[in-house]
Amino acid sequence: MTWFLAEHYPVLVIVISMFAAFTILIAGWLNKKVAFPISLATIFIQLLMAFSMLKRVLAEGPIHYKLGGWAPPWGIEYVIDTFNAYVLIVILLLSFICAIYSKRSVEKELPLKIVPFYSVFQLLITGLCGIVVTGDIFNLYVFLEISALASYALIAVAGGRALKASYNYVIMGSMGACFYLLGAGFLYAVTGTLNMADLSALLPPLYGNRAVQAAFVFFAVGMGIKMALFPLHVWQPDAYTYAPSAVSAIIAATMSKVSVYALIRVIFSVFTIKFLQSYGGVEIALCWIAAIGIIAGSVLAIQQTKLKRMLAYSSIAQIGYIVLGIGLAPISAWGLVGAIAHILNHAIMKGCLFLAAGAFIYKLNLWDIKDFEGLGKKMPFASAAFTLAAIAMIGVPPCTGFATKLFLLFASLEATATMPISGYAFVVILMISTLLNLAYFWRIVDRIYFVNSGNGHHHDTKKADVPLSMVVPMLLLAVLCIVVGILWLTGVFAPMMDQMLCELGVGGMPQW
Amino acid sequence: MVEMLTPLLVLLCPLIAAPLIFLLGKWPNIREGVAIIASIATFSLVLSMIRPVLDGDVIRCTFSQTLLPGLGIGLKVDAFGMLFALTSSSLWILVTFYSIGYMRSLKEHAQTRFYFSFALAIFGALGIAMSSNLLTLFIFYEILTVSTYALVVHDQTAEALSAGHKYFAYLLTSGCFFLFGLVMVYYLTGTTDFTNGGIAALAALNPAHKWTLIILFVCFLFGFLKAAWMPFHSWLPAAMVAPTPVSALLHAVAVVKAGVFGIVRIVCFIYGVDLMTSLGLGLLLACIAGFTMIVSNLFAIGQDNLKRRLAYSTINQLSYILLGAALLTEPGIRGAMMHIPFHGYMKITLFMCAGAIMVATGKKNISEMGGIGKTMPITMLAFTIGALGMCGIPPVVGFISKWYLCMGTYVAYETISPVMIIFLFVLLIASLLDVVYFFPILHTAFFKEPEGAVAEPKVKESTSLVVIPLAITAIFSVIFFLAFILRPVEMLAPYVDMLSMYIYDLVDVAIGNVIPS
C-alpha cells in the first residue's frame, strides 16, 4: 500500500505544521473555538506520517529527501533514518497527548490567549520536528531557534513569575544556541560543508584539528545548556515550574529530548564514534558529568517543596541517565540502547507526572507537596496516574524506568573491563539514584494516600477529579509507563534498535 | 518439558481481580465475591498443574520474543516452584474468607485498597513461585514489595507510616543488591535461567574467580532480605502494625517465603550444590542462619505483644529453611523444602488466632490473655496445635521437617566437615527456645485466671468466618503429619497423598532436580 504523497512526508511533516500555525491565527480571528481542533488534527496527521515513515525506513532503509531538488552539499537534505523516525514519533505522540490535555487546561489558565497559544504551540512542534528530520547542521540551528523562540513565548504567556523564568531561559537558551552555531561555523570553516553525511566523510582526517575539537566542545556545551545537563541547568527549574501546565509537560517531555537527539546526532553521525574513541577521556568525562548530574539532580529534588519544581530537578537527574548512556556508548553499545530507550521512557513518565501536577493545580490549585493530603480520595484518577508514573521513575520492574536502568547497568558492567573503578562507580550511582528517586517520589505518594495528620481542609473528601479530556491523557501515559516497559523487556523493539545502532555506527544490538 | 498457558492464567486471576476489586469498591459484597472467586480459580489452576509436575515434567510458558537469549520474561513451574505456589494459593482462599470476617468485624477503613493490594501481592508471590529466571523473579519480587507497602501502612498512623518507610528502606535497598547480582550473573554467564544443578558456566569460573563468586553470593543474600536474616530483620516486626490477615498471609507466608525461596533458588539452581560446597558458602549461610535462629528466639521471649512474638518466631523459622539449604545435603534440602509449606500452614494458624483474639476481645498482649482458653476454646486449640508444630512436637507436621533438618546436619557432619555437627546443637537449642516462648502463652491462656475475674467465663468466639479458616489450617497441620505416617500403607496412599496436596511427592521430585542421583 502506498500512502498519499508518501515520498514527500519528510518535508510535509514540517510544512503542514507551520501552515497550521498560521491557519490557527487567521481562523482563530473569526472563531477562537477552531484553534484547538486544527492543532489536534494537524498533530494527528503528523503522527500518522511519522509512523508511515518509520515503517518505510524499517523496510527500505534511510530516506534522503532533497529539498527543492537541490542535491547536497549545495541544497538542504532531509534524512529520515530509524533514529529520526523514532524520535519524531516520541515527540508527536507526546504532543498529541498533551494537546488533548491542553484544551481544558488552557481554557482555564489562559482564557484570553487561546488562539495565540495554539498558534505558538504549533510553531514549537514545527521547530521540534524540523530539528529531527533535517540532515544539515545549519538547518538544525534554524529549527532550534524556532522551537526555542516558541517555547520562550509559551512559558512567558503565563505572566507573573513566568516572565522572569522565561527571561532567564531566553538568555541561557540563546547562549546555548550560539555555542551550537559556533560549532557549526568551525566545522564549515574547516570542511566547507554543512551536510551531516558529508561532514562525517570529510572529518576523519581532520580529527587532530584544533578547530574540529573546539567545535565538538561547543556542540556539547550548547546542547548541554539546552537539555539542562547539570551544571548548566539553572534556567530550567523556574521555566518548568511557572509555565502553564500543558506547556510544562510538553517542554519537559519533548524539548529536552530533542536536544538530546541533536547531541546524539552530532556525536554519532557527524563526528562518529571513532572521534570519541581516538580521544580517550572525552567519553569518561561525559559519563562523570552525567553521573554527578544524576546524584545532584536527585538531591536537589529532595529539597524542593513545590511539586513542579521537584519534577524539574528530577528531569535534570534523568537527563543525566541519558548522557551517561551516551558517554558509555563507545565502550558498550548497551549505553546507547539505554540512552535511546530513555528518550521514550522519560518522555512518557515525565509527561505523565507533569500532567498530573497540572491536574492538581487545575482543580484545587495545589502547588505545595505538603497540601496533598487526602488527594487520593479527592482525585483518584490523577493520583493513580501520578503514582504509576512515580513507580516507573523509581524503576520498579516491569515499568519503563527499570528497562533504562537495566540497560545502563549492563553498559556500566561492560565498562568495568576497561575502567574498573568508574564502571563499578556508575553501577553504585545508578543504585543510589534509585533510592534517591524513591525518597523524593514516595513522600508525595505517601502524602496523597496515607498521611493523615488530621488538620486542614482535606476532610472534605468530595470527589473532584478533572474533566475526562484531562484524565484520559494522564491514564494513557500511566498505562504506557508499564506497557512500554514490558515491551522493552520482551524485545519487540529489538529489530528497530538494531537498525538504529547500525545507522549510528556502533554496530548492531549488543550480544552477550 | 511441556509448553502450557496455565502459568500465565494463574497469574492473570489475581491480576484481573485487582482492578475489578478497585472498580467494584462501592459494593462490598460483589468486591469480596470477586476476591473469593479469583482465589479459588487460582488454586484450581495451580492444582491442575500438579499431575505433569509429578511426572517429572517442567511446565513452561515462554514468550517467543526476548531481548536476548537468557534475558527475558519467562515462566516455568517445576516441583519446587509448585510447592510455593500451592502454599500461597491454597492459603489465599482461606485468608480471603478470614479477612472478610476480620475486616468487617473491626469495621476497618479503606477496605477496597486492602483487597486491591492484597490481590496484587498474591500476583507477585505467585509470579515469584513460577518465574523461570532471575530477571522474572526480580520483577515479581519488586511488585510484591511495592504492593505490600499499602498494606503495611494501612492504619495510616504515624507508627504505621514509619513501619512502611522502614519496610521500603530495607526491601528496596535489598532490591538494588538483587538487581546487581542478577546483572552480574548475566554478565558472567550469559544466562539467568534456573538450571537443575546450577549454571554450569558459573561453576566454570570457580577456581579463577573464587572471590567474585563469593561476593556475588553475599550480594544475593543482601538481595533477599525478605528472608529476614539477622541482623537485617527489623522491618519484619515493624510490619506487624498491618492488619492481621496481612501479617498472616504476607508476613508469615508469601513475602518472607519469597525471600527464602529466592535464596534456595540461588543455592540450588544458580550456584548449584557442588559449587556451593567447594566455595564453602554453605558454612557462611549456615552461620548466618544459626545466629538468626538463636538470637531471634531470645528476642521472642521478651515480647509481650503476641503478633510481635510471632514475628520473631517467623524470623527464627525462616532460618530453619536457610539452614536446611545451607547444609547442602539431601535430607537438609528436603527439610528446607518441606518447611516452606509446613511452616506456612502452622504460622498462618498462629497469626489468624492472634487476629481472632483481637476481634473477639481486642487484646493484643499476651499478659492480658489470662483464661482466654476457656472463652475461646476452638481458637486456642488451633493455637496450641500451631505452637506444638513450631516446637517440633508430634503429631504436628513441624516435627517432620525438623527431623529432616537434624538428619541433614548429621549427613553434613559425615560428608562435608565435622564442624557441621554444631548446627545440630543449634537446631536443638533453637527448638528448646521455641518451647520457652510458646508454652507460657499456652499456660496463660489455659491455666491463668482472667484479670478481674468475671463470674462465669462464657464461650465467646469471634465470627465463624474468622474461626473456620484457622481451624482448617490447624487441621491440615496435623493431616500433613498423618499423611507422612500413612503414606507407606499402600491402600491409603492415594487418598492421603491427595489430601496432603502431594507435597511429599513434589519434594521428592524437587530433590531429584537439585541433586541428580
- DSSP reduced 3-state for B193: strand
The answer to whether A367 contacts chain B (CB < 8 Å) is no
pLDDT tier, A261 (very low <50, low <70, confident <90, very high otherwise): very high
The answer to whether A118 contacts chain B (CB < 8 Å) is no
Nearest chain B residue to A395, by CA: B142
pLDDT of residue A455: 56
ipTM of this predicted structure: 0.88
The answer to whether B2 contacts chain A (CB < 8 Å) is no
The answer to whether B156 contacts chain A (CB < 8 Å) is yes
Count of residues making up chain A = 512
With CA atoms as reference, report the closest residue to A488 among A327, A264, A338, A317.
A338
Chain B residues with beta carbon closer than 8 angstroms to that of A501 = none
- Is the residue at A316 inside a domain? yes
pLDDT of residue B129: 92
What's the one-letter identity of residue B120? L
pLDDT tens readout for residues A73-108: 778 888 898 999 999 999 999 999 999 998 888 888
Chain A residues with beta carbon closer than 8 angstroms to that of B187 = 410, 413-414
Q: What DSSP letter does each residue of B252-304 carry, written as one string?
A: IIIHHHHHHHHHHHIIIIII-HHHHHHHTHHHHHHHHHHHHHHHHHHHHHT--
Sign of the four-CA dihedral A496, A501, A503, A507: negative
CA distance B121 to chain A (A): 14
Q: Is residue A456 over pLDDT 60? A: no
- Is the residue at A398 inside a domain? yes
With CA atoms as reference, report the closest residue to B151 among B97, B99, B93.
B99
pLDDT of residue A159: 79
Chain A residues with beta carbon closer than 8 angstroms to that of B183 = 406, 409-410, 413
Specify the DSSP class assigned to residue A467: P
- Is the residue at A81 inside a domain? no
Contact: B135, A489; criterion CB under 8 Å: yes
- Residue A62: exposure state from Cβ atoms within 10 A (0-12, 13-18, ≥19): middle
Please name every residue paired with B90 in a beta bridge, in sequence order, or none if there are none: none
- Is the residue at A1 inside a domain? no
**Who contacts B143 (Cβ-Cβ below 8 Å, separation ≥6)?**
A396, A397, B120, B123, B124, B127
Chain A residues with beta carbon closer than 8 angstroms to that of B145 = 396
- Across A422-448, average pLDDT: 90
Angle at CA of residue B14, ends B12 and B17, nearest 5° = 100
Q: Are B253 and B347 in contact (CB under 8 A)?
A: yes
What CA–CA distances, in Å, run from B31 to A378, B13, B15, B502?
21, 14, 14, 32
End-to-end Cα spacing for chain A: 38
Interfacial A residues in 384-443 facing B (CB < 8 Å):
391, 394, 396-398, 402, 405-406, 409-410, 413-414, 427, 431, 434-435, 438, 442
pLDDT tier, A218 (very low <50, low <70, confident <90, very high otherwise): very high
* Cβ neighbours around B195 below 10 Å, total: 18
pLDDT tier, A318 (very low <50, low <70, confident <90, very high otherwise): very high
C-alpha grid cell for residue B130? 513460577
pLDDT tens readout for residues B431-489: 999 999 899 899 888 888 776 656 556 777 778 888 899 999 999 999 999 888 888 88
pLDDT of residue B204: 86
pLDDT of residue B455: 53
CA distance B270 to chain A (A): 18
Alpha-carbon span A162 to A154, nearest angstrom = 10
pLDDT tier, A460 (very low <50, low <70, confident <90, very high otherwise): low
- Is the residue at A115 inside a domain? no
With CA atoms as reference, report the closest residue to B324 among B430, B217, B212, B438.
B430
pLDDT tier, A207 (very low <50, low <70, confident <90, very high otherwise): confident
The answer to whether A483 contacts chain B (CB < 8 Å) is no
Chain A residues with beta carbon closer than 8 angstroms to that of B172 = 394, 434-435, 438
Query: Angle at which helices B281-301 and B421-447 pack, to 10 degrees?
Result: 20
pLDDT of residue A316: 92
pLDDT tier, A142 (very low <50, low <70, confident <90, very high otherwise): very high
Query: Residue B422: in which H helix or E strand, if any?
Result: helix B421-447
Nearest chain B residue to A448, by CA: B156
Q: Which of A332, A373, A406, A475 to mutate to test the interface with B (most CBs of B within 10 A)?
A: A406
Alpha-carbon span A19 to A24, nearest angstrom = 8
Contact: B187, A410; criterion CB under 8 Å: yes
Alpha-carbon span A410 to A332, nearest angstrom = 8
Per the prediction, chain B carries an average pLDDT of 88
C-alpha grid cell for residue A124? 514549537
Contact: A446, B180; criterion CB under 8 Å: no
Q: Which of A381, A442, A489 to mutate to test the interface with B (most CBs of B within 10 A)?
A: A489
Chain B residues with beta carbon closer than 8 angstroms to that of A489 = 67, 72-73, 135, 139
Task: For residue A320, give its domain range.
Answer: 296-512
Nearest chain B residue to A414, by CA: B187
- Is the residue at A133 inside a domain? no
Spans of all domains in chain B:
2-514
* Cβ neighbours around A22 below 10 Å, total: 12
End-to-end Cα spacing for chain B: 19
A68 compared with A154, residue with greater pLDDT: A154
A510 compared with B418, residue with greater pLDDT: B418
Chain B residues with beta carbon closer than 8 angstroms to that of A491 = 65-68, 72
pLDDT of residue B170: 92
Alpha-carbon span A260 to B6, nearest angstrom = 44
The answer to whether A512 contacts chain B (CB < 8 Å) is yes
What CA–CA distances, in Å, run from B248 to A83, A359, A443, B98, B256?
51, 39, 28, 10, 11
Nearest chain A residue to B74, by CA: A490
Spans in chain B with pLDDT lower than 70? 64-65, 70, 451-457, 517
* Cβ neighbours around B110 below 10 Å, total: 19
- Is the residue at A360 inside a domain? yes
Q: Which of A434, A446, A489 sits opposite B176 (nearest CB)?
A: A434
Q: Which of B134, B142, B157 to mutate to test the interface with A (most CBs of A within 10 A)?
A: B142
- Is the residue at A495 inside a domain? yes
pLDDT of residue A346: 92
The rounded Cα B388 to chain-centroid distance in angstroms is 18
Q: Which of A446, A489, A491 sits opposite B161 (nearest CB)?
A: A446
Q: Which of A398, A402, A511 sits opposite B68 (nearest CB)?
A: A511
Pairing state of beta strands B74-77 and B59-62?
antiparallel
Alpha-carbon span B355 to B344, nearest angstrom = 16
Nearest chain A residue to B151, by CA: A450
Contact: B72, A442; criterion CB under 8 Å: no
Helix-strand-coil percent breakdown of chain B, rounded to 5?
Answer: 75, 5, 20
The answer to whether B1 contacts chain A (CB < 8 Å) is no
Instruction: Count Cβ–Cβ pairs < 8 Å, chain A vs chain B.
Output: 82
Q: Are B319 and B209 in contact (CB under 8 A)?
A: no
Chain A residues with beta carbon closer than 8 angstroms to that of B138 = 397
Q: Are A171 and A135 in contact (CB under 8 A)?
A: no
What CA–CA distances, in Å, run from B162 to A407, B300, B309?
33, 22, 20
pLDDT of residue B294: 92
Q: Is residue A3 over pLDDT 70? A: no
pLDDT of residue B456: 58
Q: Are B143 and A397 in contact (CB under 8 A)?
A: yes
Buried b (16+ CB within 10 A) or exposed e, B116-148: bbbbbbbbbbbbbbbbbbbbbbbbbbbbbbbbb
The answer to whether B73 contacts chain A (CB < 8 Å) is yes
Q: Which of A409, A429, A450 to mutate to test the interface with B (most CBs of B within 10 A)?
A: A450
Q: Are A419 and A376 in contact (CB under 8 A)?
A: no
Q: Is residue A390 over pLDDT 90? A: yes
Please name every residue paired with A134 in a beta bridge, in sequence order, or none if there are none: A78
Backbone angles phi, psi at A461, to 5 degrees: -100, 30
What strand order describes the sheet that includes B2-3? B2-3, B59-62, B74-77
What's the one-letter identity of residue B175? G
* 3-class secondary structure per residue, A143-174: HHHHHHHHHHHHHHCCCCHHHHHHHHHHHHHH
